[in-house]
Structure 1
Amino acid sequence: MAKIFCFCILKTPNDLNEISVIGGGSWATALVKILTENGIFVNWYMRRSEQVRSINSDAVNPDYLSFLKLDNTKIYASDQLDEVLVRSKVILFVVPSAQLDIVCASIPKEALAEKFVITAIKGTVGSNNLLPSAYLAMYFELKDFQQAIIAGPCHAEEIARNKKTYMTLCGPNETFIRKISKGFASSYMQVNYSRDTMGVEYAAIYKNVVGIVCGMAEGLHYGDNFMSVLVANAIDELQRLLCAFGAPNVRLGSSTYLGDLLVTGYSVHSRNRTFGKYLGQGYSVFEARELMGMVTEGYFATKGLMATVLRLGLNLPLLQTAYRVLYNHMAAIDEFKLLERNIK
């Protein structure tokens, strides 16, 4: 027993007093809020120097959640990525999936050899459409015990306002995850544990696609009756997708899977839903992206997931609808007439 115990201890950071956060968006900002509230010192990489100056001087991210005052006595913000990486044993990646490969290209491959890596990204990466955790593991030759992912229905806007939220930390190294969970748990944040890293990551990708489709339905003035059928079919598609990836016994009704899908499909805070609403109202994909003014993960997720689903031979009408509107530039109104016949 003693040998097993020592083995586990070696595969966790000695302490969790500091974390390096890579990314300067609203999700990253919300996570920094939680960590600093729990006494964790955050070394924060932000690409834009004006964000860094604002955080260090005014404790505010001027571009995201600008109403939120952070505790910058526990933050070291910098636009120098190498400087931020070297300061912490635990690295938290919170960048858009489409930018992860670009960020990684600027990091020496040996830089994370002795680090523990947490991923809070919901999308596929690169031309091979890899899961974020799989991409990081391949690129930096990480072992399973070095990685964890954050998932669940966690809108940054609500975390910023201390609204009750349920987060899931996933990964095979339970000792590591139990340790880092203390940095995220609070009176308004409940942290759960799961080992189903792959299933949770794919569910997080797919729910962004559902958000776009639900938004299009709203923009096209479909009512609640149709929306309920749309979401019911989305749940069925998610179940079939997870089964195809070898996870037939997933408890789909948990917050990690269904909770995340529902909040993305229904919430006014959902970027994907808002993006889809613009498409349903008749805006082009380019116009909708310009109106958003920020990254919409579902746009990239749709392309990556469609390529994966085609290889699996699955028929997922909601995903196909999103893909044809986004990448074949079909009119949303025409695609929804077809979708009406393909869902039950």
Structure 2
Amino acid sequence: MAKLFILGAGGFGTALAVMSQANGHEVTMWSYREDEAAQLRTDRENRRLLPGVKIPEEIAIVTDFAALGEAELVLIAVPSSAVRSVSAQLHGRLALGAVAVCVSKGFEPETLKRMDEVIAEELPENPCVILSGPSHAEEVAKGIPTTVVAACRDLDMAERVQMTLSGDTFRIYVTDDVIGAELGGALKNVIALAAGALDGLGLGDNTKAALMTRGLTEIARLGVACGARTETFGGLSGMGDLIVTCTSMHSRNRRCGILVGQGLSGAEAVKQVGMTVEGYTNTKNAYEMGRRLGVEMPITNEVYKVLYEGKDIRQAIADLMGRPRRHESEYTWLQEGNLSR
């Protein structure tokens, strides 16, 4: 049994708490809002995000950090925009041997830093492990078999998380490619939003298959430029997460995209979804990263223009279909010097 402290009482934070308690761990779940914590303590259910999933009485629900110093694993499950501020509050409160496990997917606004970079700056004395992969909270909480990857440059730390959090319905692989795991998990939200838009337009399976395949190539291209390994994007944090997010109605990004395809602006669609839609901000971040690094990202660029510049989505599709002909092999094409074209 391990002592876990989970920062964030949203859907995934709650799911991790329920799963970990069922696996025999001592779990404390933290919310920054007293009204939210009080509601969860009273109802023992996250009615808005995980209706029907009971939160066991054994899970403590708090708004303070009193139990933090005893935690062996601290799971950070807040929106990516809040990771720095939350991590800063942990400084000096964690045991030296405690591992920060981040499940947030995205980049810090303005700096475009990955979550592991942000956490390392705020918690330099504690190792950080990234947990990523196809893992909708609704299914994790219900014990539906799920497989993810734990990423850390120190594989001993990744394996520690693997041993602690793995269970009968939650299988964890490990990797030392932190950059690949992070970029795959963040950038798939951009493609999932686009996939939803195709559904909103009423387009077919052929179109979505093409989007997902070429989208994964685009994600890998940017990832490699950032220092990731190509093969990581064929794994759970790349292809696996892309598939589930592009095809499931559990995905807020896909649901947001459907609304965009039906005619709403990006901002209006996010407002109607009513919850965090990481793909909306990640589109802007990915667009800027591609621009800074000189990496060709045609799908991301068109999604950005639709969401932030009001471009007609059908024209965006037509422009993608009308691009110059090229090799499918990324290796062949890059060998011809086309990285920034």
Cross-structure match for 2:77: 94
Cross-structure match for 1:200: 181
Q: How does 1:264-279 map to 2 (within 5 A)?
A: 264-279=245-260
Distance 1:97 1:71, change over 3 A: same
- How many Å separate the matches in 2 of 1:302 and 1:331? 17
Stretches of structure 2 lacking an aligned partner (at least 5 in a row)? 326-341
Cross-structure match for 2:14: 29
Q: Which amino acid aligns with 2:242?
A: L
Kindly, what percent of the aligned residue pairs are identical?
27
Cross-structure match for 1:53: 38
Distance 1:90 1:243, change over 3 A: same
**What is the TM-score when the length of structure 2 is the normalising length?**
0.88
Distance 1:205 1:38, change over 3 A: same
Stretches of structure 1 lacking an aligned partner (at least 5 in a row)? 1-15
RMSD, matched Cα: 2.0
Write out per-residue CA displacement over residues 21-64 of structure 1, whole angstroms, 9 at most, x where no aligned residue. Answer: 11111111111111111111112111232332233333212332
Task: Check if 1:210 corresponds to 2:191.
Answer: yes
On the 8 A contact 2:6/2:30 being kept in 1, the answer is: yes
Greater RCO between the two (CA within 8 Å, min separation 6)? 1
Cross-structure match for 1:10: none
On the 8 A contact 1:20/1:44 being kept in 2, the answer is: yes
- How many Å separate the matches in 1 of 2:179 and 2:106? 12
Other structure's SS at 1:290 match: helix
- How many Å separate the matches in 1 of 2:302 and 2:15? 32
Q: How does 1:1-344 map to 2 (within 5 A)?
A: 17-73=2-58, 75-80=59-64, 82-105=65-88, 107=89, 109-112=91-94, 114=96, 115-142=98-125, 146-342=127-323
What displacement does 1:112 show?
A: 4.1
Cross-structure match for 2:328: none
Q: Which amino acid aligns with 2:69?
A: V
- How many Å separate the matches in 2 of 1:262 and 1:62? 27
Write out per-residue CA displacement over residues 228-259 of structure 1, whole angstroms, 9 at most, x where no aligned residue. Answer: 11112112212212221233442533223211
- How many Å separate the matches in 2 of 1:185 and 1:109? 27
- How many Å separate the matches in 2 of 1:125 and 1:229? 29
Other structure's SS at 1:83 match: coil
Distance 1:142 1:341, change over 3 A: farther
Larger displacement relative to structure 2 (56-65 or 108-117): 108-117
Other structure's SS at 2:92 match: helix
- How many Å separate the matches in 1 of 2:295 and 2:161? 37
Q: Which amino acid aligns with 1:167?
A: V
- How many Å separate the matches in 2 of 1:199 and 1:276? 25
What displacement does 1:340 show?
A: 2.4
On the 8 A contact 1:230/1:343 being kept in 2, the answer is: no
**What is the TM-score when the length of structure 1 is the normalising length?**
0.88
What displacement does 1:191 show?
A: 1.2
Other structure's SS at 1:110 match: coil
Q: Which amino acid aligns with 1:158?
A: E
- How many Å separate the matches in 2 of 1:46 and 1:70? 14
Larger displacement relative to structure 2 (212-221 or 87-96): 87-96
On the 8 A contact 1:51/1:61 being kept in 2, the answer is: no
Distance 1:54 1:137, change over 3 A: same
- How many Å separate the matches in 1 of 2:234 and 2:156? 26
- How many Å separate the matches in 1 of 2:215 and 2:205? 15
- How many Å separate the matches in 2 of 1:108 and 1:77? 17
